[in-house]
Structure 1
């Protein structure tokens, strides 16, 4: 029997695997910069395998990969004719993989996100944003998603428009905010103020995703938890952001010895700046203890990282049988049958 998102939240933490954007770019199926998920149409099996890998790593939900698949982004790349087919295909592929779960069918979430055209001083931009959300959510509803994830909003009002359009379709809403380096949303709201309003307006889950790593997101998640009675989401990027550099957009790499073609390490030179999976697991324990209910990782996350987060939250995943176990490693293992002439060198290797 497939439980709803609310039923799963009532039972304990829900794990939400995200990060498809960077992962599929790494795998060679998506272009960095434009970041448009054409993979749903061009390489559907690659997208299905990515969905599958994150589900096996512990994700309770498969988020249909339609981030940036809105009318404005498709206009920029000159492919508006692919807008509806791309959105529907991403959802259908997600539903196929969700049904493969051997224990309980995974949830499927529709996805809308920041449009990059919202302007608080331009009423026409608000109308355009609303129309873009309405058509995407309409396709989600017709395709039978379980809920909608609206994410990475750095304007409170845009997030509120997203929530209103989701509610018109009668679907549960998870709304998460992306906090830039100003430490406040661009229309003047704090993330805790915005989250409280969104929760009181009917969002099932509110919180934050993307831009910030665990160290610079968790303090704001704590504020949200104090301000909100409902469920709280936290999905940081897996990078070592700092108080001086709170987002991954301007993270420096002092150890880089070559010239990179971009002004910043974002998005294609962030590799040396990752948290390891054990640090991410430590964050997951902290977040769970702080009352974060909807836990995951965003851009840059790998399935192995997500598995560490899920296990730290107290869950066993489909791929937990492959979690690290060094007991029989030829150099670092402790098994009595290992060759002693190898293990004696473990401190000198």
Structure 2
């Protein structure tokens, strides 16, 4: 057994606190890890102040020193150099009895990351290998939001090295990880994967950490650790700060020791003063070997709300189904809009899809419009949700509001960047993309929000995804589609297509997927519209024959409309040869086009069904 683990058998050990907090307070203008190369004396001084405050253990200044995070500072090629320098600095500062932990931070944070676990593991193994070869006493995996990421990394490290592993998860909630796993159960999995010391760090201050640990059992074959933040985060004079509460921090440290913690340190906002108070507070305390665990009271109501209507996925799987897109107005004169909704409702269209400020252009809130539609009409609103305009807080609030309004059909989209719209200086959020938003909505369907807390009931979202077949390489688009399907999307809606060949191509490329499609058809309304689509919309190309036909009738509105409907009906014929789902995109509020095409679609599909019967 290592000296570190041997020491923990009968002792409480005190670790250091934050490094970045101190560097930022001194005017840090780059990443903290860069100081290992540029200002090693400053990092060494911080280590020394923690040791002088009573820390038995210090950690290397390498929390964010992975390839992906260092890219933002142009330092991705210095990963090994930064880690080697960090260990040398820590050794120079350490006393003979000081333990040095090599710190590795998690990749997957609160915001969605698209990195595959294999890539994460590759980059993490480089960090671990460098730290182990440089002579650390243990590896500290800290601030891991993703349980699978942490357990995979621990298992890979255990296979290669015989070195103590301290593994700490970070939870947004006091009782659950963001995937809904109870923290106690999660730490049992971390222990089973091979960690010697398991616990929590970051996000919560000492009070909420104590609440979490009151529900955590003493692990078999491992010890507990806790590195709380100094407090909840506050803002003063436009700067982030933590409470000046070092003495209070020390008092709560006693309670954490009584909950079974044997290794205690600090995370964001903590300073040598915090560690000094911890050291004096836990002096003379013995490790807890037995404790009473307070069970968590679960509040999830497993009774799902009964959907009032069959959802679109079920409909389109069983019969030809028509949905229509009708954009909300850019102004407050909504009379025409709702008159058109009434026409679609009377025509028994299955759903009306409402875009969310498409093309980054301000329109009336689609949720407000959908709420009125639910109150006045029988047609189902399908609400688009873009990730461009709302952060993680806003997106979740948005979903909760939709569920409250009994609006269950949603289309998750990443969203056009604001620079293409009429307000190019507007901020793009993109905390998540369409896949990440889908995963949030699916967790809501399980009765859990993104911090793992219970919603006390389940939502009933039926989630659509967008698919653009108008690309040069359709196989690449299908691979992206497959990733969307893996995220949990229930069905797909395509961008408009303008050739029978493209419809057949989409069928052949996607027929291996067990998922319904609504194929987009948007009538061409004029010769100028045809030229615009052909020349300015990426991916869309009209044949020379079609362009010539529209040019020939460009001065006759009646003939132009007749041609437009004729060509659209031919496309609809092909759609129904291969797909049940038809998505009619209303051009320029010309709902008469949409109604005629919807009626045509119903006529030919009902005729086919009668022939079959």
TM range (shorter): 0.7 to 0.9
Moved more, 9-18 or 176-185: 176-185
Q: Quick one: which of 224, 241, 254 aligns to 1:270?
A: 241
Q: Quick one: which of 52, 77, 83 aligns to 2:79?
A: 83
Residue 140, structure 1, aligned to residue 131, structure 2: yes
Specify the structure having the higher radius of gyration (Cα): 2
Q: Could you tell me which residue of structure 2 aligns to residue 10 of structure 1?
A: 9
Other structure's SS at 1:23 match: helix
Residue 225, structure 1, aligned to residue 217, structure 2: yes
Q: Could you tell me which residue of structure 1 aligns to residue 301 of structure 2?
A: none
Residue 281, structure 1, aligned to residue 272, structure 2: no
Q: Could you tell me which residue of structure 1 aligns to residue 277 of structure 2?
A: 308
Is the Cα–Cα contact under 8 Å of residues 218 and 224 in structure 2 kept in the other structure? Answer: no
| Alignment partners' CA distance in 2, 1:86 and 1:149 | 16
Q: Could you tell me which residue of structure 1 aligns to residue 370 of structure 2?
A: none
Q: Quick one: which of 191, 197, 202 aligns to 1:210?
A: 202
Aligned ranges 1:248-263 → 2 under 5 Å = 248=233, 251=234, 260=238
Deviation at 1:169, TM superposition (A): 2.0
Is the Cα–Cα contact under 8 Å of residues 141 and 165 in structure 2 kept in the other structure? Answer: yes
Q: Could you tell me which residue of structure 1 aligns to residue 44 of structure 2?
A: 48
| Alignment partners' CA distance in 1, 2:221 and 2:154 | 18
Deviation at 1:11, TM superposition (A): 2.5
Q: Quick one: which of 34, 56, 59 aligns to 2:55?
A: 59
| Alignment partners' CA distance in 2, 1:4 and 1:158 | 28
Deviation at 1:119, TM superposition (A): 9.6
Describe the superposition over 1:213-253 as per-residue Cα deviations: whole angstroms up to 9, x where unpaired.
011111112222356563101110111x4xxxxxx3xx5x6
Is the Cα–Cα contact under 8 Å of residues 117 and 125 in structure 1 kept in the other structure? Answer: no
Deviation at 1:204, TM superposition (A): 0.7
Is the Cα–Cα contact under 8 Å of residues 224 and 263 in structure 2 kept in the other structure? Answer: yes
Q: Could you tell me which residue of structure 2 aligns to residue 339 of structure 1?
A: none
Aligned residues: 283
For the aligned residues, what is the CA RMSD?
Answer: 2.4
Deviation at 1:59, TM superposition (A): 1.1
Deviation at 1:166, TM superposition (A): 2.3
| Alignment partners' CA distance in 2, 1:62 and 1:183 | 28
| Alignment partners' CA distance in 1, 2:75 and 2:179 | 31
Describe the superposition over 1:69-125 as per-residue Cα deviations: whole angstroms up to 9, x where unpaired.
000011222221222111110011111212xx2xx4211111111113799996x61
Is the Cα–Cα contact under 8 Å of residues 15 and 55 in structure 2 kept in the other structure? Answer: yes
Other structure's SS at 2:172 match: coil
| Alignment partners' CA distance in 1, 2:35 and 2:112 | 33
| Alignment partners' CA distance in 1, 2:130 and 2:7 | 25
Report which structure shows greater RCO (CA 8 Å, sep ≥6). 1
Residue 293, structure 1, aligned to residue 292, structure 2: no
| Residues 197 and 181 of structure 1, relative CA distance in 2, 3 Å threshold | closer
Other structure's SS at 2:278 match: helix
Other structure's SS at 1:17 match: coil
Q: Could you tell me which residue of structure 1 aligns to residue 89 of structure 2?
A: 93
Is the Cα–Cα contact under 8 Å of residues 13 and 293 in structure 1 kept in the other structure? Answer: yes
